[in-house]
Structure 1
Amino acid sequence: MIAVKRMEAGVVNSKHLLGYAIEGCERLLVYEYMSQGALSRHLFQWKKFNLDPLSWTRRLSIALDVARGMEYLHSMARETFIHRDLKSSNILLGEEFRAKVSDFGLVKLAQNGHDSVATKLAGTFGYLAPEYAVTGKITTKSDVFSYGVVLMELLTGLTALNDERAEETRYLPDWFHHIRSDRDKMMNAIDPSLEKTEETIESIAIVVELAGHCAAREPSQRPDMSHAVNVLAPLVEKWKPTEDISQNFAGMDLHAPLMQILKVWHDKGTTNSSDASSTSVSYGGDSKSSHSAGATWCPDSFNSGNCR
């Protein structure tokens, strides 16, 4: 199964694609097929499409997948990339509801690592970091703000911005910050489709705090994406392997941050480069609710600058 995107015009960039075709004015892009579509459909339109509401365990797993994808863009690739349009409709779900970040049409390269980049205002209102909307300058912390808003959507089942809601709740981040310190109000705001048990309430409270920190008004008060991975990984039961893979991944802690997993994998690759060279992991993708493609990294060439 594949997904094909037909473009009306524009230059085809072959990165992150399974394949592409150019003939005359025709532009066809071939992507990995993401069978479950966009996260937004499962959060806001599940009744319309006769879907089951996402369980808390699945929401945690999705949040971690997205955090790892953004961590890769910000600090694991050879260069630092700023997504600029992270939102629930740009998070695609595949089999077993594993998530990938998609739509790299607005991505910016941060030439000097984490320095700010001046650019024309683009993205989606409701997810834009305040400093970006005011100054037109972005950093990786702008993406962290957007990620915080996505966490709020996962928690509440509400869209980031909706003019049809009551005035105090129209802009989700403002309302979320207003009620976050009141436990009763915050718990009442949690998506009613979620089953609230003693166990889930405890982890929900942790994610509430993480969402608030990620979407802090001041960029300096926001964590980086590796912090989000560190917070979420212990909460995700689904992250545990479903079968015994000790023979293939001996000594690897799958709950560890991506940086640590990469280091272990790379260290193993130095002793068996022929095996490591055939292994890749992908994150990311392109737009539309039914497809995605990945940016790969190669454990055996992690420090050699040969990753794609």
Structure 2
Amino acid sequence: MDQLLNFIYAVAGISLIAIVVVCSWLYFAIKKRRLVKLKEKYFRQNGGLILQQQPSSEEGSSKTFKMFTAKELKKATGYYDKSKIIGRGGYGTVYKGFLPDNRIVAIKKSKTVDENQIEQFINEVVVLSQINHRNVVKLLGCCLETRVPLLVYEYVPNGALFNHIHKESITSTISLSWNTRLRIAIEIADALSYLHSAASIPIIHRDVKSTNILLDDNFTAKVADFGTSRLVPRDQKQLVTVVQGTLGYLDPEFMQTNQLTEKSDVYSFGVVLVELLTGQKALSFARLEEQRSLAMYFLYSLKENQLFEILENDIVEQSNMEQVKEFAKLAAKCLEVKGDERPTMKEVAIELDGLRKMEKHPWDNVESN
């Protein structure tokens, strides 16, 4: 009798274990199937099918562009560990990530995405993946199998130009020399000129500011953050769109008309030039009311022949003042209220490059020039 009971208990135990194993297997199988379906849903929702249809062998397309999996990027960021956060903005969070091949990357996780503009988002990804300019942060790939798309960029170690101008980081205690500031301005101008006139489809950045200019190990400037950028069809000179951007850098004409043109980037770049000159923020409520807008304060000071009073001290002490004066005049041209009166970014880039070639005492070489 005891043996029979023991046998029954053993059979019951084995059966119970088998049922638990089968149920667990079914649970994980169903969970895995649901996860796969969810990834497929997000992939379609985020425009993955459209992206797959894009020709991959177009002239100039990047061979390094990759479709990352959600698992790869989770592992790269330590499951989005807070310690890996290197930047936050109105449009998302940027994490520092480590890929299996030891490359360090920056992974941008957007807050939301407008489902009505998925096709435009994909077009931007395709175009940015083809950009190969030394002064534009390289887009390495994306992940579309999460709720919001993830973008993977090259990692730029020295952070934002803003931090170095305004000394707002423990890594930015070294003052930028005038020559470095001039070089950085030239590099930004070259990049924007390329986006406006040399890219396969012209791109208006739409949010040019010192926080969106990154510096690498050699303090080479790289334009970043194309979250609000817009592609401009070749047959159009302007786009009617909702006003977006950052106060202090926003083109006043765009704010009034909602008509976005490449001259909107020129205005914002002009504000960056003034930041480089003065070391002051584009918008500050710590300043007097009439001085809160750096652009307006700068234009007023220039008009009243008070330029040297608002220049950063290091620039006054170290610089070729003829260069500085011409630099300031160019910034003022970029800040014209009417877009038609501003130069193009190509013209700005050429003029800045000409400033770099000025001799320390240009009047010594008047005849040869």
Shared fold (TM-score greater than 0.5)? yes
Q: Which runs of 5+ in 1 are unaligned?
A: 238-308
Pairing partner for 1:230 from 350, 355, 358: 350
Once the two structures are TM-superposed, the CA of residue 60 in structure 1 deviates from its matched residue by 0.6
Q: Separation in 2 of the partners of 1:195 and 1:43?
A: 15
Q: Separation in 1 of the partners of 2:303 and 2:148?
A: 54
1:18 is paired with a residue whose SS is strand
Map 1:115-134 onto structure 2 (within 5 A).
115-134=237-256
Contact 1:132–1:142, Cα closer than 8 Å, also in 2: yes
Runs of 4+ in 1 over 6 A off after TM superposition: none
Name the residue aligned to 1:78: 200
Contact 1:46–1:53, Cα closer than 8 Å, also in 2: no
Once the two structures are TM-superposed, the CA of residue 114 in structure 1 deviates from its matched residue by 5.5
Q: Separation in 2 of the partners of 1:28 and 1:134?
A: 33
Map 1:174-189 onto structure 2 (within 5 A).
174-183=296-305, 185-189=306-310
AA aligned to 1:81 is I
Once the two structures are TM-superposed, the CA of residue 235 in structure 1 deviates from its matched residue by 3.2
1:193 is paired with a residue whose SS is helix
Pairing partner for 1:136 from 249, 252, 258: 258
Contact 1:114–1:139, Cα closer than 8 Å, also in 2: no
Alignment deviations for residues 4-23 of structure 1 (CA, whole Å, 9 cap, x no partner): 23345546854432133454
Q: Separation in 1 of the partners of 2:252 and 2:288?
A: 22
Once the two structures are TM-superposed, the CA of residue 90 in structure 1 deviates from its matched residue by 0.6
AA aligned to 1:217 is V
1:31 aligns with 2:153: yes
Contact 2:160–2:214, Cα closer than 8 Å, also in 1: yes
Q: Who wins on radius of gyration, i.e. which is larger?
A: 2
1:208 aligns with 2:328: yes
Name the residue aligned to 1:61: 183
Q: 1:133 to 1:9 in 2, by over 3 A?
A: closer
Q: Separation in 1 of the partners of 2:338 and 2:310?
A: 24
Pairing partner for 2:287 from 158, 165, 172: 165
Map 1:191-270 onto structure 2 (within 5 A).
191-197=312-318, 200-236=320-356
Number of aligned residue pairs: give it: 235
2:222 is paired with a residue whose SS is strand
AA aligned to 1:57 is N
Q: 1:107 to 1:26 in 2, by over 3 A?
A: closer
Q: 1:8 to 1:188 in 2, by over 3 A?
A: closer
Name the residue aligned to 1:102: 224
Aligned-residue RMSD, C-alpha? 2.2
AA aligned to 1:68 is D
Q: 1:58 to 1:113 in 2, by over 3 A?
A: farther
Alignment deviations for residues 67-107 of structure 1 (CA, whole Å, 9 cap, x no partner): 00110111111222211111110111112111111111111
Q: Separation in 2 of the partners of 1:156 and 1:50?
A: 17
Q: Separation in 2 of the partners of 1:115 and 1:141?
A: 10
Contact 1:159–1:172, Cα closer than 8 Å, also in 2: yes
Once the two structures are TM-superposed, the CA of residue 111 in structure 1 deviates from its matched residue by 2.2
Contact 1:160–1:172, Cα closer than 8 Å, also in 2: yes
Alignment deviations for residues 154-212 of structure 1 (CA, whole Å, 9 cap, x no partner): 111111111121112100111111111344x2111011233524x52111111100000
1:36 is paired with a residue whose SS is coil
1:4 is paired with a residue whose SS is strand
AA aligned to 1:132 is F
Contact 1:80–1:114, Cα closer than 8 Å, also in 2: no
Contact 2:327–2:355, Cα closer than 8 Å, also in 1: no
Structure of higher RCO (CA pairs closer than 8 Å, 6+ residues apart)? 1
* TM-score, normalization by structure 1: 0.70
Once the two structures are TM-superposed, the CA of residue 49 in structure 1 deviates from its matched residue by 4.7
Once the two structures are TM-superposed, the CA of residue 2 in structure 1 deviates from its matched residue by 2.2
Contact 1:46–1:52, Cα closer than 8 Å, also in 2: no
Q: Separation in 2 of the partners of 1:97 and 1:231?
A: 21
Q: Separation in 1 of the partners of 2:148 and 2:339?
A: 42
Q: Whose helix proportion is higher, 1 or 2?
A: 2
Name the residue aligned to 2:73: none
